[in-house]
Amino acid sequence: MVEDWNVLVIGERDSERELLEELEEDGEFERSGFRGVVIGSVEDIVEFLEDVEQKKYFHVNRVIPIDDAFYVSPENLVEILKKRIEKYIDEIELGETFGFRVERRGMKEDISSQMVEREVGGYFYDLLEKVHGRKPKVDLKNPDKLIAVELIGNRCGIGFITREMREKYSVIKVR
């Protein structure tokens, strides 16, 4: 079981077996329990992204680099996320735009992605306002810095993605 995962790979629907076969030599990967989605651990995320970009893996559609991975429940998700995202405050410079996105797989009855975006994103907005002494700039379409929260059942991963990363690696696509 991949405990300390650092990458989320989204492939074509019903392609988990082929996807896992393609990826097995470059890291430790496993099914997530959701169609076309695998989680994994790679030694060098930049090298992995370069390989994906060079079309080494036929079945990969999207990749989300993950900085922080942990387990959650519907009851503790919002509070844990608020604590975990505080470390990104120093990564956003005065005048830069930021975005906060949540993509949820599972927990459909228990959690609304929009509610989590509002509550946790609003919390982060307020923290940034205190640190910078002015209202932060939010841009959900093309921010300078993006905090991507990926929920896969009771697993949660946070990716901190810069505009430069998204421009360099077309496979990094956050919904």
Clarify whether residues 37 and 87 are in a common domain: no
Clarify whether residues 60 and 73 are in a common domain: no
Determine the pLDDT at residue 138.
Answer: 94
Clarify whether residues 48 and 109 are in a common domain: no
Clarify whether residues 82 and 164 are in a common domain: yes
What is d(CA 48, CA 77) in angstroms, rounded to the nearest whole number? 29
Q: Give the global pTM.
A: 0.94
Determine the pLDDT at residue 64.
Answer: 98
Clarify whether residues 85 and 156 are in a common domain: yes
Match 């005065």 to its residue by tokens: 94
Clarify whether residues 82 and 59 are in a common domain: no
Mean pLDDT value across residues 25-30: 94
Domain range for 43 is 7-65
pLDDT of residue 57 exceeding 70, the answer is yes
The number of domains in the chain is: 2
Clarify whether residues 73 and 153 are in a common domain: yes
Clarify whether residues 82 and 54 are in a common domain: no
The answer to the question of residue 61 being in a domain is yes
Clarify whether residues 78 and 32 are in a common domain: no
The answer to the question of residue 174 being in a domain is no
Q: Given the DSSP bridges, would you call strands 145-152 and 60-65 parallel, antiparallel or unpaired?
A: unpaired
Clarify whether residues 36 and 80 are in a common domain: no
The answer to the question of residue 42 being in a domain is yes
Helix (H, G, I), strand (E, B) or coil at 45: helix
Identify which has the larger pLDDT, 109 or 87.
87
Match 């009771």 to its residue by tokens: 154
pLDDT of residue 103 exceeding 80, the answer is yes
The residues, any chain, with a CB within 8 Å of residue 7's CB and separated by 6 or more, are 27, 39, 40, 41, 42, 45, 48, 63, 64, 65, 66
Give the end of a domain, one of 15, 48, 65: 65
The answer to the question of residue 84 being in a domain is yes
The CATH number that applies at residue 116 is: 3.30.2130.30
Determine the pLDDT at residue 15.
Answer: 84
Determine the pLDDT at residue 108.
Answer: 83
The answer to the question of residue 55 being in a domain is yes
Determine the pLDDT at residue 2.
Answer: 65
Clarify whether residues 82 and 99 are in a common domain: yes
The torsion angles phi and psi of 11, rounded to 5 degrees, stand at -115, -170
pLDDT of residue 77 exceeding 90, the answer is yes
The answer to the question of residue 1 being in a domain is no
101 and 175 Cβ atoms separated by less than 8 Å? yes
Mean pLDDT of all residues in the chain? 94
Clarify whether residues 25 and 44 are in a common domain: yes
